[in-house]
Amino acid sequence: MNKKLLGAKEGVYILLILLFFVHQDFWFWDNGSLIMGFIPIGLMYHIGYSIVAAFAWFLAIKYAWPTHLESFSEQGDDPTSTTSEVR
């Protein structure tokens, strides 16, 4: 396996684990600050979090997708199929 792709795959896993831990923003629970005068800071945090999470899932699809599970569709035959065609 290519070392560069292996590193990218591991990086995606680390990013997803990091996102798991920072999802609960307990540090903003008691903060009543407003961003731009009307957006609560907790809401702005989750807006940013959602954008980063969407980008992380894009990276997961690009670099960590299990392509070996879809190889049957490229071959044209489904190796997991239990039915056989009668000719």
The answer to whether the pTM exceeds 0.75 is no
As a whole number of angstroms, the distance between CA 62 and CA 8 comes to 10
Both tokens of 48, joined, read: 């940013």
Spell out the domain ranges in the chain.
3-65
Q: What is the pLDDT of residue 67?
A: 76
Cα distances from 36 to residues 33, 41, 44, in angstroms, run 10, 10, 10
pLDDT bracket for residue 46 (50, 70, 90): very high
pLDDT at 28 over 70: yes
**Residues in CB range of 23: below 8 A, 6 or more apart:** 49
